[in-house]
Amino acid sequence: MSNLVLKGDIVFTPDKDSFKSYKDHYLVAEEGRVVGIFSSLPVEYQSYPIKDYSGKLIIPGFVDIHLHAPQYPNRGLGLDKELIPWLNTYTFPEEAKYHDLDYAERVYTSLINDLWRYGTTSCVIFSSIHKESTKLLMDLFIDSNLRAYVGKVNMDRNTPPELCEDTEKSLLDTEEIILEYKDKSPLVKPIITPRFVPTCSKELMEGLGKLAIKYNVAVQSHLSENRDEVDWVKNLHPDLEDYASVYNVYNLFGQTKTIMAHCIYNTPEELDLMEKNRVFAAHCPHSNYNLSSGIMPVRKFLDRNIPVGLGSDVSGGHDLSIPRTMVAAIQASKMKWLNTNKGLKPLTSSEAFYLGTKGGGSFFGKVGSFEEGYSLDALVVDDAKLGVKDDLSLEERVQRFIYIGDDRNIVERYVEGKRVDMPYRQNIPTMV
């Protein structure tokens, strides 16, 4: 494992309320973990390799806790629809293609290259129902040296025939992946992934909850994205009081660490349960705009200390960029502030940055910050060409990069103290 010193202008958010910044300091890591930040390099570390990025920003790698790998080719397409018709018209037909491993490899190498390009060093991702292409995606992530939770999707009701699984086979395939991958890599892990309540029978959810507990595996799904979806769940489970309770009775709601995407229309009781069970909310503002879903009241979650991270939600979200997702989250929170008669305070820049780094990163453990003991997952940002103004504070430079920079400004990526190069040279990058 690697010892390393990065020198430059270091900025991160140990808590959501403010940036911590260190101009022209040394960030020291041992065996991939941060040991400290120093204005001059202590003698005991002077033997470590030093990377000099003086004048450049060094920030935590970005964390995307909700996106769908097989939807990558659909980015920017079909966004004139709401959730359910969008699923049926655009998403499900695309996801049905992933029995084809060659097609899956083309898409997934392109996606992983672009995650690297945008500085997303950690992600929590949905695959499709297909076991083999899910394994392929996990192996591609392992080769990339990026950090990921990857979930084979489970669905056995209310889906088109080509995506409707046999319940027992769905559970067996899921268990096979768990057994094969739970200890295969320190960076890439399986995650149990019921698509959402409407497409999962009680038997399937019950079986998945048992697997989660038996192997202590994480869980991800969707919750209260759209009013029609919430009504649908109510009709499917009239005996249970709310959407969250359905997951909860099947041990899919925080019994092991859990992410729920969207969380726009939760009841106070559902928020109580998320708070009690430490369920993560994945805030996906671009997707919530594009599918006319609504605006998540993220301030309510922060006020209750419910853990929150950001999700690009490709391809409901069109944009893989976590910085642009931070901007969308700030903008959405400002509209929510107006719509609540200035009741729910807008997100600040440091809060949005926190959500896209340590907020989502904490799902992985000590990820998304440069505090002692945190994994050295870092981006080096050259912001010299972002403007003619040179009298900015480090916080202002980070804010400017978040608002107007892009992948071209990211010159290096590190995960656990190791530099990560573009994973798939043979793949034609999507964006260059």
Residues of this chain that interact with a copy of itself (CB under 8 A) are 72-77, 79-80, 106-107, 110, 286, 289-290, 292, 294-295, 318-319, 327, 330-332, 334-335, 337-339, 346, 348-349, 385-389, 392, 396, 399-404, 406, 408, 428-432
CB 267 to a copy of itself: min, Å:
19
Task: Return the closest-CA partner of residue 3 out of 32, 27, 25.
Answer: 32
Nearer to a copy of itself, 74 or 357 (CB): 74
Nearer to a copy of itself, 223 or 332 (CB): 332
Residue 385's φ and ψ, nearest 5 degrees, are -100, 10
Nearer to a copy of itself, 48 or 103 (CB): 103
Nearer to a copy of itself, 36 or 73 (CB): 73
Nearer to a copy of itself, 60 or 346 (CB): 346
CB 329 to a copy of itself: min, Å:
11
Q: Which residues of 214-234 are buried (b: 16+ CB within 10 A; e: fewer)?
A: eeebbbbbbbbbbeebbebbe
Task: Return the closest-CA partner of residue 62 out of 131, 1, 121.
Answer: 121
Nearer to a copy of itself, 192 or 379 (CB): 379
Cβ atoms < 10 Å from Cβ of 6:
26
Tokens encoding 124 = 């929590």
Tokens encoding 137 = 């995606």
CB 182 to a copy of itself: min, Å:
30
CB 277 to a copy of itself: min, Å:
29
CB 403 to a copy of itself: min, Å:
3
CB-based contact 123:284 (threshold 8 Å): no
CB 83 to a copy of itself: min, Å:
12
Task: Return the closest-CA partner of residue 116 out of 353, 431, 417.
Answer: 431
How far apart CA 126 and CA 136 sit, in angstroms, is 13
Cβ atoms < 10 Å from Cβ of 161:
6
